[in-house]
A and B are shown apart, each in its own frame.
Chain A
Amino acid sequence: MTTAATTRSAPSHLTRLKRRTGGGEALVGFLLLGMLVFIAAGAPWIAPHDPEAIATGRVLGPPDLGHLFGSDALGRDVFSRVLYAFRVSLSVAIGSVILAALIGVPIGLIAGYRGGRVDAMLMRPLDLLLALPALLLAIALIAIIGPGALTVLVAAALIYVPILARVVRGSVMVTKQMPYVDAARARGVAERSVMIRHVLPNSVGPALIQGTVLMGFAIQIEAALSFLGLGAQPPTPSLGVMLSDGRDVLTQAPWVEIFPGLAIAVTVLALTLVGDGLRRQLDPRGMAR
């Protein structure tokens, strides 16, 4: 039964913004993420130095005005490298999830809606994929295709397809029971339309949230693989590569390691906050009204 209480006061702009993004923390997350994407996109214009320019005179130089994050073992400007590395890492993170969604969401939708044999046929191969350890799968793929950022993207996408499919499938199985789905069917709407126009938009929420979590993981997968030398190949900077490079000189020039590490942490934090906000935004709207 509905409650009579509905808010009617005029909230401040900040409050409204907070509500639409699902809370104060999520707003911070969104802003942060936006900033990071902006930085990544604008790296060529923002970076003060060429990320690959070797300057033997500045080897392991500490941070100063010209080199905000200092210089690494080859005298390269860490700040510029971090900026460019963001491009690679964010592209892999966002790209892998988008690719996984393009494949996984339709599979989950059809499997969840049709059920029965179609469901079994679609989900079994994905279950198989899920059963394989992610990192091993990635390494196997790299062995076949060869190392590089793009391979990492594909590998992560492959790992994510079954996860997203499963999330969507679960959500669809709940949504398809809703009376408004029956109503559309009974009103003569074709099944395909019902699936795409009613079931999909109402089931995609949990997948969105899961997507942000997976993006956070992707950053870390990329970093891990690059750390092992299997990801982005030199001289292309990636956050993982930089972590790997910085390890050797940790005691002499900690800034070479710290700043890329911080960059990873900040990105994952931003993604997590956005994910939390999305969850809060999507859940209460259904329940509180």
Chain B
Amino acid sequence: MRALLATPATGRVLDVQRLGVRFEVQDDVVSAVSNVSLTIDAGEIVGVVGESGCGKSTLAMAIMGLLGSTAHITGRVELLGRDLAGLTVEERRQVRGDRMSMIFQDPLTSLDPAFGVGDQVAETIRAHRTVTPAEARARAIGLLESVGIPAAATRYSDPPHRLSGGMRQRVVIATALANDPALLIADEPSTALDVTIQAQLLSLLRDQRDARGMAILLITHDLGVVAQLCDRVAVMYAGQLVETATVEQVFRAPRHPYTQALLAAQPSAGLARGSLRVIGGQVPDLSDPPPGCRFAPRCPLVRPECDSPPELLAAQPGHSVACWADPATHPGAAATASSTGAPRGAAA
């Protein structure tokens, strides 16, 4: 099992190439993810950020291989150099929970209410390692302690409902890290938690990354969380990747109009009081999306080229953007509002 995918100390952990996900829903085909490419190296924390419906969770599920048969996936996902699509069902099961693991938003439903939290950590260990139950238990206790659960041995048999939300999420992280994965995918891990508990959790994730050197793919809608935890950021809109950059680049000098608008709409403490910038219009219907750039109908910089999908091109080292109006990737394009600019301020 170990031989399946050996973890390098450095190097590329995840390589997603032109990933597309389409769902068949009754009579329609929904294009939830379209042409997404991104990479994560060992020790990196990459955030995928976007609003609801942008496809970020679908992306994560597709990478983990958790989508059902209604999903049609195109493109390539390579974990530690190995194409995941080429694995058998059994091999994929071996990879999950061992080489890569995932944590979800709601810790209550991520844990089985019927048995103890310690046992659930031990279960993940025994699913991928041959150890005696006693060893698994010992390791589980060690893991629970390392994620900050005090008196782990006593709490080993506590059912999830005895723990608070923050504690449960720590247990979930313990199960995810039980087998020292190369990649941890975290889908909105702190969204359901209080802000002070969220701060603890983000600290924990950072500490674990420092200690284990694993890669983390963080899915979130909260730009604040991204700024706190991530090294690099990928911004998604309506299933498309619109911008990828280091976290400093994205916050200092966002290039894509959607990224700029998103940042301007954040109510961050410290900003002058007054109206928040709003983005006019609505998210497109993904069963009938715009042919090219999906943000075009709402974009102040829209122009005729936007009818064909823009490629994600490097504007600067480490900073790529998919926008026809970006002067660095499309020299000669004037980044001014065109006469066909979309209306602003319409109610969503």
Direct touching of A and B (C-beta under 8 Å): yes
* B-binding residues in A (CB < 8 A): 1-9, 11, 15, 19
B23, B53, B221: the one contacting A4 at CB < 8 Å is B53
Q: Is the CB of B287 within 8 A of A7?
A: yes
Question: Which chain B residue lies CB-closest to A3?
Answer: B53
CB-defined contacts of B54 to chain A, threshold 8 Å: 4
Against A, the Cβ 8 Å flags (1 = close, 0 = not) of B276-315 are 0000000111111000000000000000000000000000
A1, A2, A3, A7: the one contacting B26 at CB < 8 Å is A7
Q: Is the CB of A7 within 8 A of B32?
A: no
Name 27 interchain pairs, CB-CB below 8 A, sorted by A.
Answer: A1-B52, A2-B53, A3-B53, A3-B286, A4-B52, A4-B53, A4-B238, A4-B284, A4-B285, A5-B25, A5-B30, A5-B53, A5-B286, A5-B287, A7-B25, A7-B26, A7-B287, A8-B28, A8-B285, A8-B288, A9-B28, A9-B287, A11-B26, A11-B27, A15-B26, A15-B27, A19-B26
Q: Is the CB of B285 within 8 A of A6?
A: yes
7 smallest beta-carbon distances between A and B, as pairs:
A1-B52, A4-B53, A4-B283, A5-B30, A5-B286, A7-B28, A3-B53
Complex Cα spacing A5 to B25, Å? 9
Complex Cα spacing A3 to B287, Å? 11
- CB contacts under 8 Å to A, within B204-224, are 221
Q: Chain A nearest CB: distance from B57 CB in Å?
A: 9
Q: Chain B nearest CB: distance from A148 CB in Å?
A: 49
CB-defined contacts of B25 to chain A, threshold 8 Å: 5, 7
Q: Chain A nearest CB: distance from B218 CB in Å?
A: 17
CB-defined contacts of A2 to chain B, threshold 8 Å: 52-53
CB-defined contacts of B238 to chain A, threshold 8 Å: 4
Query: How many of chain B's residues touch chain A, expressed as a range?
Result: 10 to 19
Complex Cα spacing A7 to B285, Å? 8
Q: Chain A nearest CB: distance from B101 CB in Å?
A: 24
CB-defined contacts of A3 to chain B, threshold 8 Å: 52-53, 286
B27, B52, B221: the one contacting A9 at CB < 8 Å is B27
B27, B52, B53, B283: the one contacting A7 at CB < 8 Å is B27
Q: Is the CB of A4 within 8 A of B286?
A: yes
Against A, the Cβ 8 Å flags (1 = close, 0 = not) of B1-41 are 00000000000000000000001011110101000000000
CB-defined contacts of A6 to chain B, threshold 8 Å: 285, 287
Against A, the Cβ 8 Å flags (1 = close, 0 = not) of B214-236 are 00000001000000000000000
CB-defined contacts of A11 to chain B, threshold 8 Å: 26-27
Question: Which chain B residue lies CB-closest to A11?
Answer: B27
Complex Cα spacing A24 to B63, Å? 35
Complex Cα spacing A4 to B32, Å? 9
Against A, the Cβ 8 Å flags (1 = close, 0 = not) of B50-66 are 00111000000000000
CB-defined contacts of B28 to chain A, threshold 8 Å: 5, 7-9
Complex Cα spacing A8 to B288, Å? 8
Question: Which chain A residue lies CB-closest to B23?
Answer: A5
Q: Chain A nearest CB: distance from B213 CB in Å?
A: 33
CB-defined contacts of B27 to chain A, threshold 8 Å: 7, 9, 11, 15
CB-defined contacts of A5 to chain B, threshold 8 Å: 23, 25, 28, 30, 32, 53, 285-287
Q: Chain A nearest CB: distance from B33 CB in Å?
A: 12
Q: Chain B nearest CB: distance from A125 CB in Å?
A: 35
CB-defined contacts of B284 to chain A, threshold 8 Å: 4
Complex Cα spacing A3 to B238, Å? 10
Question: Which chain B residue lies CB-closest to A6?
Answer: B285
Complex Cα spacing A9 to B285, Å? 11
CB-defined contacts of B53 to chain A, threshold 8 Å: 1-5
Q: Chain A nearest CB: distance from B21 CB in Å?
A: 12
Q: Chain A nearest CB: distance from B284 CB in Å?
A: 7
CB-defined contacts of A15 to chain B, threshold 8 Å: 26-27
Q: Chain B nearest CB: distance from A11 CB in Å?
A: 5
Question: Which chain A residue lies CB-closest to B286?
Answer: A5
Q: Chain A nearest CB: distance from B271 CB in Å?
A: 24
CB-defined contacts of B285 to chain A, threshold 8 Å: 4-6, 8
Complex Cα spacing A41 to B188, Å? 59
Q: Chain B nearest CB: distance from A186 CB in Å?
A: 25
Complex Cα spacing A7 to B26, Å? 9
Complex Cα spacing A246 to B23, Å? 55
Q: Chain B nearest CB: distance from A9 CB in Å?
A: 6
Complex Cα spacing A7 to B284, Å? 11
Complex Cα spacing A129 to B285, Å? 53
